[in-house]
A and B are shown apart, each in its own frame.
Chain A
Amino acid sequence: MEALGTFGQLLAGGLLTGLVFALVAVGLTLVYGVMDVVNFAHGEFLMLAMYAALGLALVGLGPLVGLPLVAIAMFLFGIVVYRVFVRRLLAGPPEATVFGTFGLLVLMQGLAQALLTSDYQSVPSPPLQGTVRFGAIALSQATLVEGLGALVLTAALFAFVEYTETGRAMRAVAEDRVAATLMGIDVQRVNGLAFGIGAACVGAAGALLMLSYPVYPTAGASFALTAFVIVALGGFGSIQGALVGAVLVGLLEVFGGFYLSPELKMVPVYLAYLAVVLLRPQGLLGRR
């Protein structure tokens, strides 16, 4: 009976963990889908969002209240980065986007260390620190909110891409850039918007994560690493894929941690990634 309780707890924990990962991964997959760019600085965007949320919290706007502000700020940031930088990368050889965003990673980490120090900083007395119980299963309020946020974000993004004009334009560009241009779609504008929205998603993620984590210059790194794997696992460009991939990774990590060993908990995740791309190169739900 106790084993069942433990199993249930692990299952719930794994699902929630997966949803938190999805929160971070969803912005990444949109950008890839539309413009074929894996933003290797994704973790640093997350870190920036977390610092922004912290800043707002320190002037009284807690993470939940500050979330829309952070998302908007990140949206604008994303558009600027696209216009000034990513656009030029796209005009170069394919490797340019890889090491361009990699350079952005290094630059942002350096700036964070230089301007904000490498000290851990967290929101003082954050809200939602209580516990919610479902029978024998206990879950953190903050994590539940983060998970819920992930579902809402994924649904909203999916709806946006499926049902709005701009979203359709994005899908068109994702499918065939040349044809989209011929149809009169301003690809640069669509790209910029996609990058901005992707950044806004990361912004929302960062604000929510401040409920449970401290921020420091390399805080985004471990989330980003998992996000890359998830996006590749689920299929680059597929929003549903990111959600499915994330939940899968969360479950693998938690169950791996318990039934294998915590030191090796990432092993099933990475192995699963390698297996999936070997057997199904486009990922679980990807199209190309």
Chain B
Amino acid sequence: MTSARPHLLALGAIAALGLLAAFSVQSAVVLDLVFTLLLYAVLGQSWNWISGYAGNISFGHAIFFGCGAYASALCVTHGLSPWLAIPAGVLAAAALALATGFPTLGLRGHYFSIATIAVAALVEAFVRTSHWLGKANGFELPIASGWGALQFGQKGPYVVLALALFVAVQLATIALERSRLGYYLRALRANHAAAASVGIDERRTKLIAFAWSATMAAAAGVLYAQYTLFVDPPSTIALAVSIDIALIGVVGGIGTLWGPLTGALVYVVLAKAVALRLGGAGKGYDLVIYGAIICLIAALRPYGIVGTVVDAIRRRRGAAGTIPPAATPAETAA
């Protein structure tokens, strides 16, 4: 395992840059971009834990994001502090992940992916038919101000919080790569049978990764709710949101440390660029571009932007095993 130092240095640089931006940049537009970028990066990284490192691609990840967002909405509309939403949302997400992961994480890839869609649909149906969850109307959070209310008139504090969350998530991922859990996950991806024979419990290992991944998404959800002040099914738990999250993870590079940030960067920049240049014509050009990028990546460079970069670096260094280990087609056919 490579040294963590360059990654920590990079993270430090980003943190410094981010803090600088938060305190000095005046433009609300720029700060909003930075906030969105960091939030999506967190979501992408949370998705990465289960779909990348664990290798079980999820198309229903938005439900965990929703846990956090709805927890926030519920706390605030019931007169409780939104800070309570953090433990509440995180615990709810972890519980949901354990409950839904338990039956499905022992299954092969496709079954799991489809199961995530099924579970997400169930959750959405539940929310849409429950009065206490706002049904289709969702919740509008009343305007407030200050750290106690976790709402701010300026963008700076939001960026700081998003940055803190991002740094925490990156540190956790750096730790994951060098931990026993990470080692087990890599072993499972390399060869299920061999890993099992060494005593690695696939379901249990992946459940842990899944639960952690859910908590990260929930934390992002709380922050999102406190920022946007509006929570409803289409914006937080719909299939489209899950697909956006997956998009970010895939474009950046599945299973890599910096993939999610890269993917988020591409996503945010592209969305803005498309809106500015091609907006107003009513066409789906941004979708065409994303789709083309993902197809190209999948066909030519399956490891995304970051994976390709990492690969190139390793090649230059002359390392033997260049591509991140994964099960070969022959083995998954077993």
Contacts and interface: CB of A to CB of B under 8 A. Distances in A.
The answer to whether A and B touch directly, with their CB atoms under 8 angstroms apart, is yes
B110 interface: yes
SS class, residues of chain A in contact with chain B:
helix
Contacts of B59: 102
B305 interface: no
Nearest to B326: A93
Nearest to B323: A93
A281 interface: yes
A217 B297 contact: no
Contacts of A217: 284
A263 interface: yes
A178 B57 contact: no
A85 B299 contact: yes
A89 B299 contact: yes
A99 B57 contact: yes
A232 B283 contact: no
A260 B283 CA distance: 40
B8 interface: no
Contact of B107 (A85, A110, A221, A277): A277
A90 B109 CA distance: 15
Interface stretch (A112-120, A135-143, A191-199, A202-210): A112-120
Contacts of A117: 282
A271 interface: yes
Contacts of A112: 284
Contact of A229 (B55, B118, B125): B118
Most buried by A among B103, B250, B289, B298: B298
A100 B57 contact: no
Contacts of A177: 333
Contacts of B115: 273-274, 277
Contacts of B119: 270, 274
A263 B110 contact: no
Contact of B299 (A38, A95, A100, A178): A100
A94 interface: yes
A105 B295 CA distance: 9
A277 B104 CA distance: 8
A103 B129 contact: no
A110 B295 contact: no
Nearest to A218: B240
Contacts of A102: 59, 243, 246, 250, 294
Nearest to A44: B291
Contacts of B289: 110
Nearest to A271: B122
B288 A277 contact: no
Given A94-B326, A270-B121, A111 B295 contact: no
A117 B294 CA distance: 22
Given A100-B295, A113-B287, A274-B119, A38 B110 contact: yes
Given A88-B299, A88-B300, A117-B282, A109 B291 contact: yes
A110 B290 contact: yes
A130 interface: no
Given A103-B298, A177-B333, A225-B117, A281 B107 contact: yes
B113 interface: yes
Interface residues of A, number: 52
A144 interface: no
Nearest to B285: A114
Contacts of B332: 36, 94
B311 interface: no
Interface string A249-288: 0000000000001011011001101100110010000000
A38 B118 CA distance: 16
A85 B296 CA distance: 9
Contacts of B63: none
A210 B287 CA distance: 25
Interface in B301-334: 302, 326-330, 332-333
A277 B291 contact: no
A236 interface: yes
Contacts of A105: 291
Most buried by A among B282, B290, B329, B330: B329
Interface string A77-90: 00000000100111
A106 B277 CA distance: 20
A92 to B, nearest CB: 4
A104 B57 contact: no
A16 interface: no
Interface string B191-230: 0000000000000000000000000000000000000000
B293 interface: yes
A72 interface: no
Contacts of A73: none
A96 interface: yes
Contacts of B106: 281
B284 A109 contact: yes
Nearest to B330: A178
B13 to A, nearest CB: 30
Interface of A: 32, 36, 38, 85, 88-90, 92-100, 102-114, 117-118, 177-178, 217, 221, 225, 228-229, 232, 236, 261, 263-264, 266-267, 270-271, 273-274, 277-278, 281
Given A95-B55, A95-B57, A111-B291, 15 more contacts: A89-B299, A92-B299, A93-B328, A95-B254, A99-B250, A100-B299, A102-B59, A103-B293, A106-B243, A114-B283, A114-B284, A217-B284, A267-B125, A277-B103, A277-B111
The 8 closest A-B pairs by CB, nearest first: A107-B291, A110-B287, A103-B294, A113-B284, A100-B298, A106-B291, A110-B288, A110-B284
10 contacts: A32-B110, A93-B328, A104-B295, A225-B121, A232-B110, A274-B119, A277-B104, A277-B115, A278-B104, A281-B108
